[in-house]
Amino acid sequence: MGKKERREKEREKRRQDILDAARSLLLKRGHHNISMRQIASIAELGVSTIYTYFPSKEDIFAALSREAFDLIHDTILAAAAGRDPARRMRRIGEALLLLSESHKSYYDFIDYFISTPEIIFPAELKAQVDTYGKRILDPISAVVRLGIESGRFRRIDPLECALMFIGSIHGLIHFRKMDETILRGRNFRALFARHIDCFITGISA
């Protein structure tokens, strides 16, 4: 490995260390209780070094949002392969459940920004993040559109359907925490599968 490649690798590692530190702090303390100095301390970098990578902590969280959206998008895209639209929808739902388990910190990060009532990003940055995040709906919309064209699904708005699908899955995943109360004696994965079946039945022709 040459000097240039080594420098690039070190730079990327520092950038990732910053993002990892910011994500962990956000989930523990919330947005308003985090400073660039605290992020630098966790990442074991100087504050001035942090600013060479990101102009503000909002830019850090925007970068984390893009990372999380990329992960979700790629997960959905991989699961959406196949011919039968209904089966593809089931695979997408199952993949999102697995993602919430295998990449919990990313999933919780996105959940934080969806659930908080306040707007954290400045208007221009928020527009960029929202536009980027919309990508996760595209593969689901494509499957719904295929289902409509093949006569498998009734004529509905593909984007609206994709939003309802991923929103309902996201909400149901939260109930997994209630395994000792509401879900006592129930198999969550079986419940989750029935939820997807009900959704598919609802949009079927």
Share of the chain above pLDDT 70, in %: 98
186 DSSP 8-state letter: S
State CA 47 to chain mean position distance: 28
Using the 8-state DSSP alphabet, how is residue 153 labeled? B
| Per-residue model confidence (pLDDT) at position 136 | 93
30: domain CATH number is: 1.10.10.60
Do 40 and 64 share a structural domain?
A: no
Mean pLDDT across the chain, nearest whole number?
91
Residue 17's pLDDT is 95
Nearest to 25 by CA among 102, 122, 109: 109
d(CA 175, CA 169): 10
Q: What is the pLDDT of residues 173-183, one digit of tens each?
A: 988 888 888 88
- Check residue 117 and give its pLDDT: 63
Indicate if 79 and 156 belong to the same structural domain: yes
pLDDT digits (tens, 9 = 90+) for 104-131: 888 888 887 777 766 778 888 888 888 9
Note down the domain range covering 6.
1-54
Per residue in 54-101, pLDDT (tens digit) is 999 999 999 988 998 999 999 999 999 988 999 999 999 999 999 999
Q: Are residues 73 and 169 in the same domain?
A: yes
User: For the whole model, what pTM was predicted?
Assistant: 0.86
